[in-house]
Amino acid sequence: MDSQVKDRKGLSSMLSGADDVEEEEEEHFDSDEDDDDEDDDDFEEDDDDEVSSERRSEEFLLEDERARLEKIFLQLSRERVFLRVHDVVIKGISKTDASLIESEADVLKRATAMHEIIQAADTLNARLRSLGLFDSVDITLQSGPPGTTNVVIEVVEKKSSVSGDVGIFTKPQARSWSLEGKLKLRNLFGCADDWDGYLALGWDQISEISAKVSLPGWKGIKTPVEAQVSLLQQDWLKLSSYKERSLGFSLGLISSVHHDLTYNLAWRHLTNPSEMSSSSVRRQLGQNLLSSLKYTFSIDRRNSSSRPTHGYAFLYTSHIGGLAPGSLRFLRQEFDVHCCLPLGFYNAAVNVGLSSGLIFPWGTGFLDKPSSLSERFFLGGKSSPVCTLGGPSSLLGFKPRGLGPSEPRRHTGTEKFSEDALETDERDALGGDLAVTAFVDLSFDLPLKLLREAGIHGHAFACSGNLTKLTENEYRNFNIKKYMESFRNTVGCGLVIPMKRFRAEVNYCYVVKHGEHDRWKTGFQFRFSSAP
């Protein structure tokens, strides 16, 4: 600091010397009384010289300060400067509990060197911004007692803590539309708590209502806590001849970037108002209890979830049921892997995906028991396999629950035949215990600049998948060669229109291979997939 002061004094003395010279020049010009016009011109030049001299002095000071800072950073990078945090000062909070920020700031107190404090401050800044509670976060260091520093955290809280959304959405798997509303409250009690309410109204019934609360890791809790209560009703009468009503509770036990562990407890009731369901569906009707643990491991290194051009993604899910007496006993495993390779022209990329799932009951006599109808795998629907990352479900060209094991419905003699009955061929989709799907998708830019700027692009694809039953001793009849030979295949091409909330596709699908009782369609199809 002394050398810096000295340098600044020397610089100021140099500047003052320059001023003396300028004063002498001014006196010299004043003594010339023969030409007043020339004197005036000289005075104006002297004023310009003074301004330029001041500018040069400011530049000298900036250069000196820049050199000093570079020297300090160079010293920090080469040498370990021991320093610890003496105190953390928090400014700008009114609604948020100070202990929330203090718990996040513990990382600062573990630092023992200057560069460690800077790294910890950068991590803390990113963490506080990720909470979504503040418009801005500034962290500065101030001098403290010898060998220490004080950290000042100044935040600006967001003014509005309430948000909502209302819209009309389609549920392709249930073949229905609904009016959905969402309400979100943030930081209601000052601990970064999130309160979410969700309501979906069908044309004739409430299809879902739920409430969820989320808390971050706070006051010694190392992982976020999430709890949800929901009432769900699904209508599968047209596809599988049953309706499902579920009252459930879920509790998030572990939640991190790659790992999630959730406990689920639900009471479910399956009914058949039409009394036309097949024998396999009728055996599943009634009430049951679900008590399960679900673990999910996921990695997503793609540059985009709606139109990836490079990267990869992987998801693995393990779901075990039967934790409570009398609850459904099953073991469900899923994995899904996506890989994307750029081609280097027209922003083209090849996406390749493979997913599979297996479910099996467990317990005494499990080989003779069927798997739960609600937990089985169903293939088909209108979701894009490129966007979908969650196990086998989507197969383009096939209708929702459009392939796999099925069974004729019961005829009572009083039913009325309609277009829906003819469309479904009067069979119930039963789902399967083993499902495998794969796809290849080539995406590319279109030649029109207007379409490229709007994000509209073309793609060509090929999909394949199969579904079979293994429970109730059916595994004895399983043959891997026959299973591979019975894969359903689809090829096609189309346009992709990205939107804010979903991805719209206009595709021409050609079903190359299908089963005897599958529900499929060759031709133009419109598909909508949620954009994650």
Q: How far is CA 490 from CA 182, 301, 395, 401, in A?
A: 37, 28, 8, 16
Q: Supply the CATH number for residue 144's domain.
A: 3.10.20.310
Encode 360-372 in three state secondary structure: EECCCCHHHCCCC
The 10 Å CB-count burial string (b at 16+, else e) for 502-514 is bbebebebebbeb
Question: Does 8 fall in a domain?
Answer: no
Residue 280's pLDDT is: 92
Provide the residue type at 140 as one letter.
T
Cα-based torsion angle of the residue sequence 522, 524, 530, 532 in order, rounded to the nearest 10 degrees? 80
- Please state the φ and ψ torsions of residue 54, each to the nearest 5 degrees: -65, -40
Answer yes or no: do 144 and 221 share one domain.
Answer: no
Question: Does 9 fall in a domain?
Answer: no
Answer yes or no: do 152 and 222 share one domain.
Answer: no
Question: Does 24 fall in a domain?
Answer: no
User: How far is the C-alpha of 124 from the C-alpha of 153, rounded, in Å?
Assistant: 10
Question: Does 193 fall in a domain?
Answer: no
Answer yes or no: do 293 and 377 share one domain.
Answer: yes
Classify the phi-psi angles of 4: left when phi > 0, otherwise alpha if psi is within -120 to 50, otherwise beta. Answer: alpha
Answer yes or no: do 255 and 385 share one domain.
Answer: yes
Chain-centre distance for alpha carbon 56: 52
Q: Which H helix or E strand runs over 184? A: strand 176-186
- Please state the φ and ψ torsions of residue 28, each to the nearest 5 degrees: -65, -40
> Which residue is it, tokens 């020297």?
71
Answer yes or no: do 248 and 369 share one domain.
Answer: yes
Answer yes or no: do 240 and 383 share one domain.
Answer: yes
Q: Supply the CATH number for residue 452's domain.
A: 2.40.160.50
Question: Does 207 fall in a domain?
Answer: no
Domain count, the chain: 2
Answer yes or no: do 252 and 323 share one domain.
Answer: yes
Question: Does 253 fall in a domain?
Answer: yes
- Please state the φ and ψ torsions of residue 146, each to the nearest 5 degrees: -50, 130
User: How far is the C-alpha of 35 from the C-alpha of 155, rounded, in Å?
Assistant: 65
- From 139, 157, 175, the end of a domain falls on 157
- From 112, 135, 157, the end of a domain falls on 157
- From 157, 184, 199, the end of a domain falls on 157
User: How far is the C-alpha of 370 from the C-alpha of 512, rounded, in Å?
Assistant: 32
Which domain range does residue 74 map to?
A: 70-157
Nearest to 494 by CA among 464, 520, 529, 466: 529
Residue 15's pLDDT is: 33
Residue 163's pLDDT is: 81
496, 525 contact by CB (below 8 A) = no
Q: What predicted TM-score, i.e. pTM, was given to this entire model?
A: 0.74
Question: Does 387 fall in a domain?
Answer: yes
Question: Does 147 fall in a domain?
Answer: yes
Q: What is the pLDDT along the chain (532 residues), one digit of tens a residue?
A: 343 333 433 333 333 333 443 344 344 434 444 445 444 445 444 555 555 666 667 777 777 777 776 776 666 556 667 888 888 888 888 888 888 888 888 888 888 888 788 888 888 888 888 888 888 999 988 888 888 888 899 999 888 778 887 776 655 444 556 678 888 888 888 888 889 998 887 665 558 889 989 887 655 566 778 899 999 888 888 899 999 999 999 999 888 889 999 999 999 999 998 888 999 999 999 999 999 999 999 999 999 888 899 999 999 999 999 999 999 999 999 999 999 999 988 899 999 999 999 999 998 888 889 999 999 999 988 778 888 788 898 899 999 899 999 999 987 655 554 444 444 458 999 999 999 999 999 999 999 889 988 889 999 999 999 999 999 989 999 999 999 999 999 999 999 998 876 788 899 999 999 998 999 999 998 877 765 5
